[in-house]
Chain A
Amino acid sequence: MSFRHLDRFAQVRSPVTRVPAAGRVFGTVVLALATATLPAGAWVQLGLLAAVSLALLAIAHVPLRVALARLAWPLGLVLLASLALLVVMPGEPLARLGPVAVTAQGADRFAMVMGRAMVALLPAVLLVSTTSFPELLQGLRELRVPVAVATALGLAYRLLYLTVDELERLQRAARSRHAGGGVTRRRHLITAIAAATLGRAFVRAERTHAAMLARGFRGTLPLLHAPVWTYRAVLNVAAVSILVLAVAASARLP
């Protein structure tokens, strides 16, 4: 198991990948925040922010079909979560679906939520496509995410593959012995596998800790490569952030 398929465009040279990871995370948060907090009815501003995200995807050489394919799953979840809006909002009925009525107010709110969610997902897709996990971790540390969380994420990233592989090995061993026939036995089997994995994760944590101490670990993981902020990178992040904030602010002008 690996996350390598996620950051396929991290090695592609572009103005986006030349910005250090902290700048990319910052830009993503600004774009997502600006989109998510647009007031209802701000369709023009939503369109402009979508255009900014699409332009950044093009600059980073991330093909639109890749971005759309990555949007499909999270957007499906958003769709499921927001379908209820169509019928729970009181208002003028537009159509009847059995015992419930789709209201005009509900349809309006559903469209705005879906629009905001879709556009806010675009910068997240851009970030994950152009940033490797170690880079992302470095960016989070620069943005002052608690050291414990950054260290835990870094180690979890290394241990996750091992843990999942171990989980799969235990499942394969159980399958090869035809264990877990019937719901109750299967439930007990999966619980046993999960608990065994948990025990092994703790053992591995202790071994990792001992190995890290032997290498001079004093509570924080060192950075191998310090990020290089060029004037151009600073200017690019500032320009995109100011543009995005200006678009978002224009939606609140009287």
Chain B
Amino acid sequence: MAHIPDGFLSMPVIAGTATASLAALATAARRSRAALGEREGPVLGAVTAFVFAAQMLNFPLGIGASAHLLGGALVAVLLGPWAGMLVLFAVLLVQALLFQDGGIAALGANTLNVAVLGVGSAGVTYRIGRAGLGETRGATVVAAGLAAWISTAIVGLAVAAELVLSGLVPLQPALLLVGGGHVLIGIAEAVLTGLLVDFVFRTRPALLARRTPAARGDRIRVVALAGAVVATVLVAVGFASSQPDVLETALARLASPVGSGLTAAPLAEYQSPVGGLWVAGAVGVLAAFLVAWGLTIAVQRRRP
């Protein structure tokens, strides 16, 4: 449910998200014009038309299901986040006005989720990936896939947060159904984006070369943003995890002897011996961040 229909959001959420989207779009329009110049109109028009057309293609997933591209990460990779935001806003606008896919009153919220947070986070993740992994074909594909997965998950979390703030649903079901659903959808989006970027890299690398490489100052900014993203995801998971998860339920039902032999986790059930949930969350965030940082350094050292 990335496109929220009308009737789901409260007035303060509609007003707040519309204001935030307007501010972000104004910045995006300025930055995009600076980056693309007078080529902006034709390039944005072509990519907008492509995103519409690509959404009509169903990719087989191999389990009797298929998925279509959402396109946020792809446009962030091809055009950069600012121009990408404008493309996705154009797509959302047409979907709301012509096809009634997503509400007109909820357009601000949908723009904030899909165009601003979705494309923005994809752009940031892609930059982190390229800064950390390098600019080889494999690194570019992995960075694009990762950007697609993280941005889809962030879109899901944003939708869940807006539904909760509107007082429509309680926090846990919103996070599990909407946030969790998008984490799964994000896997398909990551695969599709990765495949497309791989093909573009092999056949038309000039399309990707338009992007400027990340500077050292950017790395500090993207690392800070990455920390914020990881923190948000982990705290959200912490909130959603007071119920047993699928694995725990399955183990409980099977009364598996294997389960009883497992070593207890140091921060089981997100509880720390000192400070409870929040300290456990902070330790988890730090640990995840250190692991990611370590992996990045290791990959950088292996690079020739």
Residues of A within 8 A of B (CB): 3, 6, 25, 28-29, 32-33, 35-37, 70-71, 73-74, 77-78, 81-82, 84-85, 88-90, 109, 112-117, 120-121, 123-125, 127-128, 133, 136, 140, 145-149, 151-156, 158-160, 162-164, 167, 183-184, 186-188, 190-199, 201-202, 204-206, 208-209, 212-213, 217-221
Contact for A208 among B32, B45, B199, CB less than 8 A: B45
Residues of B within 8 A of A (CB): 1, 5-11, 14, 25-26, 29, 32-33, 38-50, 52-54, 56-60, 62, 69, 78, 86-87, 89-90, 93-94, 96-101, 103-106, 168-170, 173, 177, 192, 195-196, 199-200, 203-204, 207
Bound CA–CA A85/B163 (angstroms): 11
Looking at chain A's contact residues, the main secondary structure is helix
Q: Are A156 and B207 in contact (CB under 8 A)?
A: no
Q: Are B200 and A32 in contact (CB under 8 A)?
A: no
Which B residue's beta carbon lies closest to that of A127? B97
Contact for B105 among A32, A73, A195, CB less than 8 A: A32
Known contacts A120-B6, A199-B204; decide if A6 and B98 are in contact (CB<8 Å).
Answer: yes
Q: Are B46 and A202 in contact (CB under 8 A)?
A: yes
Q: Which residues of A contact B200 (CB under 8 A)?
A: 195, 198-199
Q: Are B46 and A153 in contact (CB under 8 A)?
A: no
Q: B218: shortest Cβ distance to chain A, in Å? A: 24
Q: A168: shortest Cβ distance to chain B, in Å? A: 9
Most buried by A among B1, B52, B97, B168: B97
Most buried by B among A37, A158, A219: A37
Bound CA–CA A146/B115 (angstroms): 15
Q: Which residues of B contact A218 (CB under 8 A)?
A: 38
Q: B129: shortest Cβ distance to chain A, in Å? A: 20
Which A residue's beta carbon lies closest to that of B58? A190
Bound CA–CA A77/B6 (angstroms): 12
Q: Which residues of B contact A70 (CB under 8 A)?
A: 100
Which A residue's beta carbon lies closest to that of B99? A74
Shortest beta-carbon contacts, A-B, top 5: A155-B45, A116-B7, A205-B46, A152-B44, A120-B6
Bound CA–CA A152/B45 (angstroms): 4
Q: Which residues of B contact A195 (CB under 8 A)?
A: 196, 199-200, 203-204
Contact for A190 among B1, B41, B57, B104, CB less than 8 A: B57
Q: Which residues of B contact A35 (CB under 8 A)?
A: 6-7, 105
Which B residue's beta carbon lies closest to that of A32? B104
Q: Which residues of A contact B38 (CB under 8 A)?
A: 209, 213, 217-219
Which A residue's beta carbon lies closest to that of B29? A146
Q: B117: shortest Cβ distance to chain A, in Å? A: 18
Bound CA–CA A142/B127 (angstroms): 36
Q: Which residues of B contact A152 (CB under 8 A)?
A: 40-41, 44-45, 48, 86-87, 90
Contact for A164 among B53, B59, B94, B169, CB less than 8 A: B53
Q: Are B103 and A81 in contact (CB under 8 A)?
A: no
Which B residue's beta carbon lies closest to that of A208? B42
Q: Are B60 and A187 in contact (CB under 8 A)?
A: yes
Q: Are A116 and B195 in contact (CB under 8 A)?
A: no
Q: Which residues of A contact B6 (CB under 8 A)?
A: 32, 35-36, 116-117, 120-121
Q: Which residues of B contact A206 (CB under 8 A)?
A: 42
Q: Are A151 and B40 in contact (CB under 8 A)?
A: yes
Q: Are A88 and B195 in contact (CB under 8 A)?
A: no
Q: Which residues of B contact A147 (CB under 8 A)?
A: 29
Q: Which residues of B contact A187 (CB under 8 A)?
A: 59-60, 62, 195
